Structure 1
Amino acid sequence: MTESPENVPAYRTIRMSPPHAPVAALADLEAWQARDPYPEVRGAGPAFGIAYELEHGGWRLRPHFGDPDPQDARDSLAGYFRSEAHEAEQAGDDTRKAALLAAAERLDWEPIDEVTVLGTRHRVVRCERFIRTGPDGPEPPRPSDPDPCPPGLSHREPDPADGFVIDPIAVTGLSEGILKLELLGLVHPVGPIDREVKEDGIQAAHSHPGGVLLPPVFMVAERTAFGWQPSTAAVAKTPQDARDSITFALRVMDPVRRALGTEQRAEYLRAAEELDRTRADSLDVAGRHLRVVRVERLVRIGPDGPEGPRRSDHSTQPPFRVHDQQLRAQGLIPDDEDEERPLELTPEMEEMNRLMEAESERRRKLLAEHEQRHRGRPRKAKKSRRR
């Protein structure tokens, strides 16, 4: 039976309205203009995080959404419950403490994706990531993407997704609404895929036909002979966060893992300094071409809320306690704490530590200079009025 507009469930509606604020209008325009140079949308795989159900409707994301493995999200939820249990203990609330610790203990042993604690549902939530691409490669950040932090200090910027409320009936801009429709139609990745992945995608389109767009994230891609490939698995919350990951690799990681000589190290260092100075979205260094790439994220919504992990979202490891037992059975973790030996550092590890300490010191100085400038910024003097 065909549904009339009045009978369409809220989670299947897309409410669009022209933006009124200038910044929102610019973002909506840029989203529409991006369709010409970057017409193709490609899947970039799922990510996971934790959300809890609100009493008045919707689900709110907890911090650090974006784990590549659903088990990482489950472990994070167990850690959150233990933190809350500690606060309950400090407050003398033994009942709350016991409930939170029981939930954490269960997550340590079972790969569960939803748990209700003290009347509130907590769920592992799945989002699908997408990248727009065109003849020139993947789409870089847009001018309207928030990018407030100076180089080296992006780790201080809060994640726009922290506290984000998944509300399918929230009004969106016209371009965002069209993008949502486009992404909801991408049931599974293009090209040869695993049968289980394809079946899960088709099932999700029926069980969770609605969707909500999360704030975009950013990653670093490198152009290779085989096309564009992720430079690292890390995902950044802002464009500058992605640039900082590039400069960190150039200053700390690449000299060791690529076994660079003196001249090459100097070239990588100059490239890092140039990127800090220009805040560009692409960089050429030693024959390599790197680009900061914009990533869209969509959470599918069904009658019972946001989609959780799919059958085909296989975890690389079991729950914490199970994994610990397995490692001890294999002799990889000693049963006696006294048997643990200090880690012997290889020359490569020692070199990495030295470079990391130097980079940490450099960023501490940047922070001190930034705070000093902020404290020393003179206030505008009020002009006196002569009568």
Structure 2
Amino acid sequence: MSEYGEHVPAYRKVRVVAHEDAPAAALADVEAWEARERYPDLMSGGGPLFAVVQELESGGWEMLTRADATPQSARDSMTAIFRKRAEEVALAGDTAGQQDLLATAELLDWERHDDLTVAGVRYRVARAEPFIRMGPDGPEGPRPSDPDPAPVGKSHEFRSPTRGFVIDPFAGTGLSESILRLELLGLVRKAGTVPHEVRSDSQLAKHSHPGGVLLPAEFVTAECVNGHWQPTAGPSETPQGARDALAMYLRVMAPVLERLDDDERAEYARIADRLDAERCDELEIGGKPTRIVRVERLVRVGPDGPEGPRPSDPDPDPPAALQAQQLREQGVNLDDDEEDDPSPETKELIHLFEQERKRQEKLAEGS
């Protein structure tokens, strides 16, 4: 029996809705159910991710940025948002709002804050936990229903599906997503698999933030080494974004980082050409099976909104102004405009980037 009786808080509800009038949503729900059969195991998809969200008067929290790897990256994005909005409200004649936004941006330059109310709007750094589905043949790849609108090489030109997404646990979802949410909300890190403090925070979050919302899926590149799959690049917010990133690595980064000879460079270029031509999600690189992998991301929600960073989450970087002060105290001259000559590796990377730019321009002219 529920501890709330009939009065279950909205953030703890999972509302299932039918999709008879929305064929795309119905298809996505069917694919999600089939994925449960083909990829039955849920596994951690890596470390937590963090995004800037703002509370809406209409309910829920709107995502203002894509999810990033550290809390400080999100705080830096929040600082930039405040400075941009200060310019906007100044043009509208709101001097008080401008001063509030600029003062808060200055505060974030020196101090860590994850929940702030500025000019009447509440902002927060929200935490997302990534998961992947695994089956007998490895991790799940993109689904046919996953949005993938960008042409080859153009994924960066399309709006992020995460920005503008509203975290609202009471919003209706399909049956398959609802079941997945319940599964993920019940997961706690197993003893011995993570440090004690990480497991402890995981257990606490299950009670402090018992509700949750799934963000739009993201995508990473992974390769299989000795029977084990491990991520090699990512994340990207669409399958084509992951393919574009992989193709760029094969043509530009790999020749330098992996010190490829001429034959190996030619082979990597052929693989990149195939990736572009076929928009494939599975191939072999250097004898290793490689796959574009689908990643689910859960944001836990409690009575006060989305979960923020946990004490055990890695947060190594200080705020920007504080970091600059620390570097100067260590004798680093940040005002020195003189640049060292680039290394041979850097020069080659610049050359390969320029070659790739020209190649893409030529393709665009012929399209």
Which interval holds the TM-score relative to the shorter structure?
A: over 0.9
TM-superposed deviation, 1:154: 1.0
Structure 1 residues 22 and 191: alpha-carbon distance in aligned structure 2, compared to 1, 3 A threshold: farther
Structure 2 distance, partners of 1:236, 1:270, is: 23
Report if aligned partners of 2:191, 2:199 keep a CA contact under 8 Å in 1. Answer: no
Aligned counterpart, 1:375: none
| Structure 2: unaligned runs, 5 residues or longer | none
Aligned counterpart, 1:362: 359
Structure 1 residues 191 and 369: alpha-carbon distance in aligned structure 2, compared to 1, 3 A threshold: farther
Aligned counterpart, 2:344: 347
- Compute the RMSD of aligned alpha carbons: 1.6
Structure 2 distance, partners of 1:364, 1:12, is: 51
SS at match of 2:6: helix
Q: How many residues align?
A: 365
Amino acid at match of 1:243: R
Aligned counterpart, 1:383: none
SS at match of 1:231: strand
TM-superposed deviation, 1:22: 1.6
One of 46, 49, 52 as aligned partner of 1:47: 49
Larger radius of gyration: 1
Aligned counterpart, 2:13: 13
Of 147-156 and 291-300, deviating more is 147-156
Structure 2 distance, partners of 1:4, 1:220, is: 43
Aligned counterpart, 1:60: 62
SS at match of 1:331: coil
Structure 1 residues 329 and 226: alpha-carbon distance in aligned structure 2, compared to 1, 3 A threshold: farther
Which whole-Å deviations, capped at 9, do the CAs of 1:205-261 have from their partners, x for residues lacking one? 0000000111100000011126111112x2111111101111000000000011111
TM-superposed deviation, 1:2: 4.1
Aligned counterpart, 1:161: 162
Which whole-Å deviations, capped at 9, do the CAs of 1:73-121 have from their partners, x for residues lacking one? 0011001111112233444432222111101011111111011101110
Report if aligned partners of 1:42, 1:190 keep a CA contact under 8 Å in 2. Answer: no
| Structure 1: unaligned runs, 5 residues or longer | 371-387
Structure 2 distance, partners of 1:73, 1:83, is: 15
Alignment of 1:152-301 (within 5 A): 152-188=153-189, 192-225=193-226, 227-232=228-233, 234-301=234-301
Structure 2 distance, partners of 1:333, 1:140, is: 47
Report if aligned partners of 1:89, 1:97 keep a CA contact under 8 Å in 2. Answer: yes
Amino acid at match of 1:9: P
TM, length-normalised to structure 1: 0.91
Report if aligned partners of 1:129, 1:296 keep a CA contact under 8 Å in 2. Answer: yes
Report if aligned partners of 1:42, 1:189 keep a CA contact under 8 Å in 2. Answer: no
Structure 1 residues 91 and 358: alpha-carbon distance in aligned structure 2, compared to 1, 3 A threshold: farther
Aligned counterpart, 1:70: 71
Structure 2 distance, partners of 1:23, 1:190, is: 40
TM-superposed deviation, 1:4: 5.1
Structure 1 distance, partners of 2:366, 2:119, is: 46
SS at match of 1:294: strand
Aligned counterpart, 1:376: none
Structure 1 residues 295 and 190: alpha-carbon distance in aligned structure 2, compared to 1, 3 A threshold: farther
Aligned counterpart, 2:139: 138
SS at match of 1:115: strand
Aligned counterpart, 1:302: 302
Structure 2 distance, partners of 1:363, 1:101, is: 40
Amino acid at match of 2:358: E
SS at match of 2:33: helix
TM, length-normalised to structure 2: 0.95
Which whole-Å deviations, capped at 9, do the CAs of 1:328-370 have from their partners, x for residues lacking one? 1122334xx3x33123201110000011112223333444555
Structure 2 distance, partners of 1:76, 1:281, is: 31
Structure 1 distance, partners of 2:341, 2:268, is: 29
**Identity within the alignment, %:** 52
